A and B are shown apart, each in its own frame.
Chain A
Amino acid sequence: MSEIKLEHLVKKYGDGFAAVNDVSLDIRDGEFMILVGPSGCGKSTLLRMVVGLEDITSGDLHINGERVNDKAPRDRNLAMVFQNYALYPHLSVYENIAFPLRLQRSRHPEPEIDEMVRRAAGLLELEEHLERKPANLSGGQRQRVAMGRALVRDADAFLFDEPLSNLDAKLRGQMRTEIARIQRRLGTTTIYVTHDQTEAMTLGDRVAVLRRGILQQCASPRELYEQPVNLFVAGFIGSPPMNFLPGRVEGDVLHLPIGDVPLPEAARAAATGHDLLIAGIRPELFEDASVLDRSRQAGGVLVDLDIDVTEWLGNELYAYVPYEPDPAVRAKLDELDRDLDGEGMRTQLVVSLDAQSRVRDGDRARLWFDPARMHLFDPESGVTLTRDEEVAARLDAENEDLRQGSLERARRAADRAVPA
């Protein structure tokens, strides 16, 4: 049982650069919290502040209600998995896992250490490698040893610093599910740093999105996806990313580079007072009109577009449509692109179509989308104008219920496994 509370945490370096700026987070007991953002956003620094490897410039860090700002890492009882694993090369797998236990020798007698190491090794399927040295293990095995060392001891929370970034794509997928399974089974509070939004979305109970040291939004994956608070979050979450199109408002019509769209009911109030908006449309909102059900066409609009390039992936088809952005929002979109580690490439619309679609490079295609699901952003501040707080709150509550439910189930299962 442990809660971690971050209150206005700031990390300033000697040159005055604030790597982490006024971040407040409330991580609940048993929760899987993700810190995500592009490189240099301060997510790793924040994690290292929690574990105690970086000093906290200002703000308070509470673990289970106790202020731990000035405690050494070893007194915080947290376990961490490092990005490069940091296994001890001179020790066998067994001794690597036993290392944290041996440091508290007084607390654990030898037979108990042996039992705990074997239990952790069993959980991670490392039994047959216990006598080997880290140098003789594959990347995935090393990763599991690092996890074994973290979960062997009864730590208050697990901290992961980009644990999967050194693995190849297939293994990364497997380990991701493995981490999720273990966390659910143990029900231990976890903070997980990643730059990969897929990991963030799939693993997290809640996800905190950071940008340049500032917390943008902390919410459930679903809320981040459906109700992002600003341009940055909207652009960061989702793959392929959301399309941002400059739009001019004229009465009830929004002029987009891809065509004119009627402003949906809900967006009208939000659009008042703005001539120029940024419209955000997710690639999967588009459909190829020629393969779409007639019945669904009614609610949306049809646009004719020149397809530049297509990519067929088997389960879906990506099509790219270049366009000239409005110079008035160009600067804003370029800045966003830089923040998202973009390459400043041409502005283009990405659409994700049904794999049945026969659209090919160079075609003029008729695409369909529903403007009601479009997001509108203020081009100056980047704030989402169409965000519905009520829906967001409901999503949040739903997510918390689901989380409590699965945590409860995991604990009951654990109780059953170990009869009292």
Chain B
Amino acid sequence: MKSKGLMFCMLPGVLVWFGLSLTTLPSAAGDETTNEPDRADQADIERLLEVIDVDPYEVPPLVLKRDHNYARSAVDVEPFRHVTPFREHFLEQMEYTGPGRAIPEPENLETVKIGFIGPIMSTVSVATGGKSHEEALGIAMLRGTQLAVEQANQRGGYLERAIPFELVISNDNGLWGASGNEIIKLAYKDKVWAILGTIDGANSHIAIRVALKAEIVMMNTGDTDPTFIETNIPWVFRCIGDDRQMGYLLVDYLYRKLNYTRIGVIRGSNRYGRFGVREIRDGARRLGHPVILEMAYQVGARDFSLQLERLQASNLEAIVHWGDAVEGALILNQMRAMGMDHPYYACDRCVSDEFLALAGDNAEGVVCGYPWHPARQDEDLELFRRAFRRRFGVEPDTYSAHGYDGMNMLIWAIQTAGLNRAKIRDVLAHRARPHKGVTGVIPFSACLDDLGEVFLARVENGEWEFYSRQDLDIPQGTIAPRDRVSRKTAATGGG
């Protein structure tokens, strides 16, 4: 299965779009349109709309999702698995209990505004570990959302009023907290109906705190930090598999399939590296083979000899990298130059053409986690690729595809619920059937995280190949439906 060429590419023209209404832009999507998102059962939707039509004081009796197991975690990689914790979180869906559902739709709108926030302009940021490095990802994400909005406008825009959607674009790649200010602006000044965005974990957390207080949906399509969703905020959604899911798959592959016992880790010193690798570290320890050595590097570094010398001296069987593609490739090259022939594993950010170009032959055999299967045969995906290429002249990457799916989900929710932020939240959070996007089916967990299948990507003959757990026959620990309650209670020592 060959990939269709995953590219990170940045057009200088994107900066021209900043701050402009997309409704003023000529559409380049042509007559190719991708399939609309899977329509949930209409009867269910109508019932849902009836239920959420309440006064300011009533909390609608919505059925709350209940998960029996958090994040499909295998028993043997759960924290403190030998005892029952006093309290387990994220198993029951959060409610919105405020008065927002009773706010009437405003009159005299010319457009229906949806916010985009992401790293699209270069800056020096403490939040992202120095000079910014995520613009390529942010611009790719922006393009996916733009395409979704343009296609929706081609279909008639906001159908209830026959007015166009407008994407209000913000950059979050500033100093600490820039995302907070931008969300404030989107929510209060621009008065958008929902917001899509953020990639960097720190900015994402800042953004969702503001979204909670301002009471507006935040759809994340690019931040794989597991803790992003572990905040109990009923306004937050994520439609991309996270580092917990990809970490679990990698752990199973490394320890249950390949039977490694001595793994070393090298990661970026930023939040992405720090939190992304946590499930690898915890999983390894819980399976009885703690990570032997974990080394961090400054984001943007080009010399990794200090870290690699220590890893080399640690008698390792394999090395896991968690960081950006450039650093990932440079580390790999330096390893090989030092005579380190360890198998090399990495995170999804390394699954890029940039990595392949930099690593060259060294890339062969590298295995990474990946949140979806971009090379699968799927009509919607093919239509999306074609439309994206026509519009932007480049191949879509993972950020484009997830941005496209996330924006389509928001547009669907607005079309369904109308112009009410709380109801937009409700229909997204309580739709009966999961959305089927170009990245696959997106089933939400109780905490509104994407529980869709994740994959491994392996470089074979200079190209990325994608494999499911089933493809590689990777064993998995037992996922107990509710085993934990029968164990001893930590707080009492009793049953």
Whether A associates with B in a native complex is no
